[in-house]
Structure 1
Amino acid sequence: MIVRYPFRAAALVAGLPLAFALGVAPAHALPDDEPPAVENEEVTVHGVRQPYRGNFTMREIPQAIATIDAGTLRENGLLRLTDALDLNASVVRQNTLGGLWDSFAVRGFVGDENLPSGYLVNGFNAGRGFSGQRDVAGIERVEVLKGPAAAVLGRGEPGGSINLVTKQAQFGRTFGTAGVQYRSFDTVRAEGDANVALTGNLTARLIGYAEKGDTFRDTVSQRRWGFLPSVGLAIGAGTRLIYDMEWTRVAVPFDRGIVVLNGNFRTVPRDRFLGEPGDGDTVARTFGHQLRLQHELGSGWTLLVGASHRNTRLTGASSDAETATARQKLFIDGRTLSRQRRTRRYTSGHSVLRAEVAGEFTTGALRHRVLIGGDVDYFDTDQFFTRFRGPAVNATTTDRQGYVLDLLNPVYGRWPVPAGVPITNRLDVQRTAGAYVQDQISVTDRLQVRIGGRYDDFLLRVGDRLTGVAGRRQRARFSPQAGIVYEVSDPLSLYAAYGQGYRANIGADARGAVFEPETSTSIEAGVKLSTLGGRLSGTLSVYQLQKSNVLATDTLNPGFSVAIGKARSRGVELDVTGQLPRGFEVLVSYAYTDAEARSQVRDPAFSFQILPGDPLINIPRHNVNVQLARHMTIGDRGALLGAGVQHVGERNGQTGTTFALPAHTLARVFGEVDLTPETTLFASVANLFDAHWYANSYSPQWVQPGAPRTATIGVRARF
């Protein structure tokens, strides 16, 4: 049974007094996971250690890891996780359900294209529900954990996992920021972040945001708000308790984008909305909690215990372009778009319990750094979906039957709203338990070897209320990992890694068959460089990933997936970030990705076919992001000026076809200047040269156009 929103009233009672007592103010970039000790107190408090990480520097980890910190997000004026991930070339955009969830691929692999992409929040599995696109308010940094890490993380994609480290209560400090900004298309946003030390051992941090305005799409406006408090309690000298809450709401019309007829991406203007404004907003709601306890056991050993629970709900209606050729009048007269009408009620409940012990010991001359842990993961998703679609187009088919829209002269509200019939009424229940162990052994001062593995046992139940058919699948598997790190010199190290992964595929295909779990094998090798006293670092890596039981979008049954068997991705990546002399900051990220199907799948009833060698959808071979910024002084005022460019290569736009999205190049500029020691004026311009670009595609009838030139200006105060 899915838990709905039993904690909402309780959260209001608990959260609002703190909000009124302490005030709300926006995002402040925390320095790192190690806040300073509390002065003049007997208790010395450090930050809560990140799970799955252990006591390692980045150079010692046999894995490519890229970090996007709060300062970079703030300087670029980025507001959504999707936009933040554009800064790393290994991550590319995927189908976002009309802009209502986060979906991305890491190293070419996305998972199930009909569900949001999962990510970690402070090490907990999250992001799998229907919560709308994640706002960056409350995010301290975004970690792109690439490569074969599934043997510890569990249930992640073999290409990598995204971990969001949230802004948490900092002990013994009182500070805050507040800001307001105005963006193109009459959008206004206010933010707040207040960290208040109530006592030496108790701190509350309140983060909130609210945003409202139009978009570049005709008739499409949006409203968003979020409340993200964090409370920290130090219990003695070595125990820290952190509670975080997530309460958000997104309201925006469901928007499938534009249509592309015969390869013409100017078939309609990029701002033309092809749905029905009368359908109103689709609303995504989230309410979640995290509770984490860290206890120092002594002699370098640490215990982490935590729990999280998150409810999501997405409801609304949309009028979407018909994708079936036989039902689409557009292919006959070139201007009359046949449409479907759909309604959705998607809910989910996700609970995670996890515990980990980390520490080290020696055996003879060998130093062992060990992680031992386990987790239990419950995820339920309940989907109710109705659809109206018109008949096949012939000489007697009326425009009303096709629920059409004239692309050249759209008249909204022309037809009565057609009634749909239930297509999906299904409950998917996933129960997973796992345990893992990892040992990184220092063989010499320069050579380290990592070995480990994870055992997972999962149960998946699918209950179809329309057919009365209940499916069930239970599997277990051990996933090993191994890695090696060799320090060539003080700034340079080499690494290699191997890992296997295992992930349950949620749901069933259009015929009700429960999917087999997905398995993967990953190999990776690379070189890491750290120079200028650690201020400049870089990683060059090569990899190959193979997956079995891969899912892809079923283009003839939207909302369903089809198993395409095997897929492979291989590539080369370069990430460089850091600070150069004279106040310069640099970010370079490049990825060459060759991702393709490795099996042949054919549905004889519909002639839908995927062949070995077919590229995976929305994955460019070349993706690059370069950015340069400089901190300077104007008079006695601090200032920053920066610019960046992103190039995304041509991508497949529909599974199993030759339809492709064109390459695009986007430029951006940003800057800020201190008006007073406590006040900063900031501005940015995205898509500086107003390029026409396309973020992702599901089919030629559902193509998401990217935003035109977008300017932002605002002011931020701090205390």
Structure 2
Amino acid sequence: MRLSTRAVLLTATVPFAVTLSCAPAIGQTKENTQPEGARAEITVTGVRQSYRGNFAVREIPQAIATIDDTVIEENAITRLTDALDLNASVVRQNTLGGLWDSFAVRGFTGDENLPSGYLVNGFNAGRGFSGQRDVAGIERVEVLKGPAAAVLGRGEPGGSINLVTKQAEIGRSFGTASLQYRSFDIVRAEGDANLSLTGTLSARLIGYAESGDSFRDTTEQKRWGFLPSIGLKIGDATRLTYDFEWTRVEVPFDRGIVVLNGNFDTVPRSRFLGEPSDGDTVARATGHQLRVQRDFSPSWSLSVGASHRDTRLTGASSDAETVRSRQKLYVDGRSLSRQRRTRRYTSEHSVLRAELAGDFTTGALRHRVLIGGDFDYFDTDQLFTRFRGPVVTPTTTDRAGYVLDIQNPVYGRFPVPVTAPITNRLDVQRTMGAYVQDQISLTDRLQVRIGGRYDDFLLRVDNRLTNVLGRRKRSRFSPQAGVVYELGAPLSLYAAYGEGYRANIGADATGNVFEPETSKSIEAGVKLTAMGGRLTGTLAAYSLDKSNVLATDTLNPGFAVAIGKARSRGIEADLNGRLPGGFEILLSYAYTDAEARSQVLDPNFSFQIRPGDPLINIPKHNVNMQVAKRFMLGARDAMVGAGVQHLGARSGETGTNFTLPSHTLFRVFGQADLIEGVQLFGSVANLFDADWYANSYSPVWVQPGAPRTATIGLRASF
């Protein structure tokens, strides 16, 4: 059976499935009510939180941070990657030349040769090759940190990112539209209209389109998306929600700049070292989510849902050669040997799930339980071809090495080399899981949480080049436990322990199928809820250990290598709120000590990792601070703000001492109402035009950060 047929069957059987969902809830409890204007407290007010239940954040033995659409709009952010920069626990990783989202939470990123997975409304929906996620249609970004994230079964122990989308609101009609202009001649239009079609049926239509140049020479970009949502109320206790996703990204594949002998001024940050004639790499996505929630009583509800998503990425690129013996740059300091590559990556992902949530008492004890299960089917089909030049000798010609002069590039100097297949592989992952969780209120101040998840996992790897079919089947139970003690307003203490389990997709360069990744994690902290919920914060310390960890195989790009064990330990502080006088503050700091704990030596390439080696692209220190002030400008509302991010030095290549320098970036932003319903907004990122580097794979694949970037726009609402 084709997966597309399977997806149809999954959707058709949703009402009868027992799987998990995050469809909007009909009711809410009094303890979850927030004062108007409070942003930091994530509460259940109309949307039930997947894998979380009906809890206020102060009751959850887990650090949770949120980045809402107000903060995103204030900073004129358009990409998920930029939004995640606002939380210090999340740092950028390698993005396949800018073609996917990749990030680490608390030092762990998963498989560096695949996009980082994230949740959309609680569904595993970020896998695949859909390009970098736009923030259009996002209500808030939730950073779910630490051990409780392991309950998801397939998430990283450091935490998970959950995107809560803007969904149809029944009984209301409203909307916004915006037009903005950004540095490098980038123009963007965006619209959001919620239409009440009947008393029980609403449609929310969200779309965006963006086009323009970039700070990189010869590169242009085009992006668009359509993200509608349908909401249907069936009686007083049932709600159905359908969300659709249709997006396209067209950008040149760009590996960035080269850094020779530690000199980050080897070339200007604007210099493109590929071939403009390669054209755009195109990423497409089409996705569906269908969710139904039924409230049986104020204490019991059932959520069921299904999702299906197809993605496709195609294109060609000319990338710097990473093997030193094949790289002429190390001979004369200016002749960059390059590879020619083509890619055709596709994926299909279906999820079916349900969750039963209940609230009951036994004697003097209050129980809030979650019982659920899910089925997850993911396949990725990768066809990758490559031309690689010979080992450099005195007689090797520039044409043989597909060389580009980095000081005076002449594009199109040589004919495009003919590539040969390197990877032609189908990976199919099937996982079934079930979980149970009970949070017990022992007293008015003390709560304990116990639970666990069982996963049954199957991975098939069909290598069409070698005609080898690999197979790995495993199962595992992952327990969790936590405790919350309320000291009294405004502080509560918590501690948690969890174990996790995540399948490693694919095989190494020799065809060996990877063992699944396992983890153990522990954290403890204190939570602040003050000023009626308008000021919230968390201070946490944690320790995470992982086994069967993968890292990028530097000498075989596109492949991973098993490095055995890794550990991350750290301290985090998050503070967010609205203060008297119209001031809004955001503070996020993370100290992260992430390192390999095993020794790995590849005898063929002398690729070596030693215990204590830092994990790639993970800084010790990361801090983001922001202050905004709201005031009246005449008779109109206005706001101004400023922020700063400091990111420490970090490893730029696995298994070597190549290091990316630290950087500090300043930003300013503001907005003002011109007339009723029309707002002028603007921002300047990297205010002082600092040189900075977003991530690195090796010294010849370093991604420079954008220079000073200004945005100005108009936003209308009705």
TM-score between both structures, scaled by the size of structure 2: 0.94
For residues 330 and 674 of structure 2, what CA distance do their matches in structure 1 show? 57
Report the secondary structure of 1:564's partner residue. strand
Matched, 1:320 2:328: no
User: What is the match of residue 638 of structure 1?
Assistant: 637
Q: Which runs of 4+ in 1 moved over 4 A?
A: 1-8, 32-36
Structure 1 166/501 Cα, relative in aligned 2: closer, same or farther at 3 Å? same
2:402 aligned partner, one-letter code: Y
Matches within 5 A, 1:587-626: 587-626=586-625
For residues 654 and 34 of structure 1, what CA distance do their matches in structure 2 show? 50
Over the matched positions of the two proteins, sequence identity in percent amounts to: 78
For residues 712 and 25 of structure 2, what CA distance do their matches in structure 1 show? 30
For residues 5 and 175 of structure 1, what CA distance do their matches in structure 2 show? 37
Deviation at 1:46, TM superposition (A): 7.8
User: What is the match of residue 129 of structure 2?
Assistant: 130
2:278 aligned partner, one-letter code: D
User: What is the match of residue 656 of structure 1?
Assistant: 655
User: What is the match of residue 384 of structure 2?
Assistant: 385
Deviation at 1:523, TM superposition (A): 0.2
Deviation at 1:6, TM superposition (A): 12
Structure 1 4/274 Cα, relative in aligned 2: closer, same or farther at 3 Å? farther
Structure 1 188/438 Cα, relative in aligned 2: closer, same or farther at 3 Å? same
Report the secondary structure of 2:70's partner residue. helix
Matches within 5 A, 1:357-376: 357-376=356-375
Deviation at 1:663, TM superposition (A): 0.1
Encode CA deviations 1:568-605: one digit per residue, 9 max, x unaligned.
00000000000011000000000000000000000111
Deviation at 1:435, TM superposition (A): 0.2
Query: Contact 1:2 / 1:382 at 8 angstroms: preserved in 2?
Result: no
User: What is the match of residue 418 of structure 1?
Assistant: 417
Matches within 5 A, 1:399-478: 399-478=398-477
Deviation at 1:126, TM superposition (A): 1.3
2:89 aligned partner, one-letter code: S
Report the secondary structure of 2:210's partner residue. strand
Query: Contact 1:254 / 1:281 at 8 angstroms: preserved in 2?
Result: yes
For residues 48 and 197 of structure 1, what CA distance do their matches in structure 2 show? 19
2:194 aligned partner, one-letter code: N
Query: Contact 1:337 / 1:406 at 8 angstroms: preserved in 2?
Result: yes
Query: Contact 1:250 / 1:285 at 8 angstroms: preserved in 2?
Result: yes
Structure 1 286/97 Cα, relative in aligned 2: closer, same or farther at 3 Å? same
Matched, 1:505 2:486: no
Encode CA deviations 1:254-299: one digit per residue, 9 max, x unaligned.
0000000000000000000000000000000000000000100114
For residues 441 and 7 of structure 2, what CA distance do their matches in structure 1 show? 47
Deviation at 1:474, TM superposition (A): 0.2
Report the secondary structure of 2:586's partner residue. strand
Report the secondary structure of 1:149's partner residue. helix
Deviation at 1:50, TM superposition (A): 2.1
User: What is the match of residue 287 of structure 2?
Assistant: 288
User: What is the match of residue 240 of structure 1?
Assistant: 239
Encode CA deviations 1:20-72: one digit per residue, 9 max, x unaligned.
xxxxxxxxxxxx98899xxxxxxxx9834222111100000000000000000
User: What is the match of residue 70 of structure 2?
Assistant: 71
User: What is the match of residue 672 of structure 1?
Assistant: 671
Structure 1 613/57 Cα, relative in aligned 2: closer, same or farther at 3 Å? same
User: What is the match of residue 575 of structure 1?
Assistant: 574
User: What is the match of residue 539 of structure 2?
Assistant: 540
2:397 aligned partner, one-letter code: T
For residues 475 and 150 of structure 2, what CA distance do their matches in structure 1 show? 13
Structure 1 553/473 Cα, relative in aligned 2: closer, same or farther at 3 Å? same
Deviation at 1:462, TM superposition (A): 0.2
Deviation at 1:4, TM superposition (A): 7.1
Q: How many residues align?
A: 688
Query: Contact 1:645 / 1:667 at 8 angstroms: preserved in 2?
Result: yes
For residues 354 and 6 of structure 1, what CA distance do their matches in structure 2 show? 15
TM-score between both structures, scaled by the size of structure 1: 0.94
For residues 202 and 51 of structure 2, what CA distance do their matches in structure 1 show? 26
Structure 1 152/502 Cα, relative in aligned 2: closer, same or farther at 3 Å? same
Deviation at 1:3, TM superposition (A): 4.8
For residues 204 and 573 of structure 2, what CA distance do their matches in structure 1 show? 36
Encode CA deviations 1:534-591: one digit per residue, 9 max, x unaligned.
1000000000000000000000100000000000000000000000110000000000
Report the secondary structure of 1:399's partner residue. coil
Deviation at 1:73, TM superposition (A): 0.3
2:659 aligned partner, one-letter code: A
Report the secondary structure of 1:516's partner residue. coil
> 5+ residue gaps in structure 1?
9-31, 37-44
2:143 aligned partner, one-letter code: V
For residues 258 and 316 of structure 1, what CA distance do their matches in structure 2 show? 20
For residues 46 and 256 of structure 1, what CA distance do their matches in structure 2 show? 44
For residues 541 and 407 of structure 1, what CA distance do their matches in structure 2 show? 46
Deviation at 1:88, TM superposition (A): 0.1
Matches within 5 A, 1:258-297: 258-297=257-296
Matches within 5 A, 1:146-185: 146-185=145-184
2:556 aligned partner, one-letter code: N
Structure 1 686/296 Cα, relative in aligned 2: closer, same or farther at 3 Å? same
1:586 aligned partner, one-letter code: I
User: What is the match of residue 558 of structure 1?
Assistant: 557
1:230 aligned partner, one-letter code: S
Query: Contact 1:374 / 1:436 at 8 angstroms: preserved in 2?
Result: yes
Query: Contact 1:339 / 1:389 at 8 angstroms: preserved in 2?
Result: yes
> 5+ residue gaps in structure 2?
9-23, 29-43
Query: Contact 2:454 / 2:477 at 8 angstroms: preserved in 1?
Result: yes
Query: Contact 1:151 / 1:436 at 8 angstroms: preserved in 2?
Result: no
User: What is the match of residue 224 of structure 1?
Assistant: 223
User: What is the match of residue 583 of structure 2?
Assistant: 584
Report the secondary structure of 2:400's partner residue. helix
For residues 47 and 659 of structure 2, what CA distance do their matches in structure 1 show? 45
For residues 711 and 416 of structure 1, what CA distance do their matches in structure 2 show? 39
User: What is the match of residue 208 of structure 1?
Assistant: 207
Query: Contact 1:48 / 1:240 at 8 angstroms: preserved in 2?
Result: no
Query: Contact 2:478 / 2:498 at 8 angstroms: preserved in 1?
Result: yes
